[in-house]
């Protein structure tokens, strides 16, 4: 019923023009019938429910603008990646940022403590192919807690890889949201994996997801030391901008936590090797933390890439992952990389 009323409402704002003696509908703000139809189909597919007719119209206008951006981007022959309509297509970047990104963090390690190995890194690495070392993609929902998912993802993999007989646990992001404030982390407002590793180290562990489940909002700390299952001995920071050190760490240690600056087009990423010459690389510009699980060279474009696990669910990007151009500190990806030494 809402959609019917909405369509009637739009028709009130429509005017009839004549082009070659054929009537053409021109909708308010330039929204055309094809975009309206796509929005209706998307609304049904996503199971969306709007607060009011005004809210529905506003979301449709944003959706139409996003469709045009996606189509313009995908029409560029020189592009190395594609965009798509997804579950975020009804959101402006300002709305998206407030719900899913953290506040910009100042996170640099001008001189890191990663020790380079004496071995030559292989041309391709994917820790998912090495064994049961990477947990499934998770969903941070409407909370700027990406830093906790980057942290747990790195801890989960490092512990499964390096601790003899240790299973691949799914660790608690909610514990970090609730309990790490003393380490300059701020729950749903943002934080840094390097700080979270320090918290886990001095807190003497992190609990399982099942023991301390995720609720996507700030709440009081409920940590129980007796239920901690993963522990940090030392935190390793990688020197700012040293992508070669990240390659070495990913190749011979484990997946690595990194952060970068998300800009509007990334919201609609679908596939390919992402690059954007306008995004920032400074330490105070990063607004999203993720997990590098590998790297390689794209066969279609011959472009080197990082393989990265995101925390927006498996229905975004490449089953929850994305590829980003490697070797140029794209969007600050090498600005604040870190990982833990686990026990």
The residues annotated as belonging to the active site are 146, 288, 310
As given in the structure block, the two tokens for residue 273 are: 């090797």
Which of 139-174 are b and which e, b meaning 16 or more Cβ less than 10 Å from the residue's Cβ? Answer: ebbebbbbbbbbbbbbbbbbbbbeeeeeeebebbbb
CA-atom Rg of the chain in angstroms: 22
**Token output for 84:** 């798509």
Helices (H) and strands (E) in the chain, counts: 8, 13
Q: Round to whole Å and give the CA distance between 162 and 342.
A: 7
What is 7-64 written as a DSSP string?
A: HHHHHHH-EEEEETTEEEEE-GGG--HHHHHHHHHHHHHHT---SSHHHHHHHHHHHH
- DSSP label at 245? H
DSSP H helices in 126-259 = 146-162, 173-179, 193-203, 243-252
Q: Pseudo-torsion of CA 53, 60, 322, 96, nearest 10°? A: -50
């Amino acid at each position: 019923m809402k959609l019917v009323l909405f369509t009637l409402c739009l028709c009130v704002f429509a005017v009839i023009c004549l082009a070659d003696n054929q009537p053409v509908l021109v909708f308010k703000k330039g929204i055309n019938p094809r975009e309206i139809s796509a929005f209706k189909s998307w609304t049904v597919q996503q199971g969306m429910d709007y607060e009011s007719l005004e809210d529905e119209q506003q979301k449709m206008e944003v959706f139409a603008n996003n469709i045009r951006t996606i189509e313009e981007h995908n029409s560029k022959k020189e592009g190395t990646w594609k965009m798509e309509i997804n579950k975020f297509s009804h959101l402006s970047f300002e709305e998206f940022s407030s719900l899913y990104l953290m506040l910009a963090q100042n996170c640099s390690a001008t001189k890191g403590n990663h020790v380079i190995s004496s071995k030559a890194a292989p041309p391709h690495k994917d820790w998912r192919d090495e064994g049961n070392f990477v947990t499934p993609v998770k969903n941070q929902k409407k909370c700027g807690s990406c830093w906790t998912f980057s942290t747990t993802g790195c801890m989960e993999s490092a512990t499964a890889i390096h601790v003899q007989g240790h299973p691949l646990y799914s660790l608690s992001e909610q514990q970090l949201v609730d309990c790490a404030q003393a380490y300059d982390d701020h729950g749903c407002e943002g934080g840094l994996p390097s700080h979270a590793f320090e918290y886990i180290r001095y807190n003497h562990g992190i609990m399982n997801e099942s023991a301390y489940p995720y609720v996507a909002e700030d709440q009081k700390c409920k940590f129980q030391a007796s239920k901690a299952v993963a522990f940090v001995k030392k935190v390793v920071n990688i020197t700012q901008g040293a992508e070669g050190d990240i390659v070495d760490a990913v190749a011979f240690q484990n997946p690595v936590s990194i952060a970068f600056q998300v800009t509007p087009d990334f919201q609609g990423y679908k596939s390919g090797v992402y690059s954007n010459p306008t995004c920032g690389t400074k330490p105070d510009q990063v607004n999203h933390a993720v997990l590098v699980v590998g790297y390689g060279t794209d066969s279609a474009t011959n472009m080197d890439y990082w393989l990265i696990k995101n925390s927006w669910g498996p229905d975004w990007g490449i089953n929850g992952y994305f590829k980003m151009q490697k070797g140029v500190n794209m969007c600050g990806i090498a600005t604040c990389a870190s990982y833990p030494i686990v026990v």
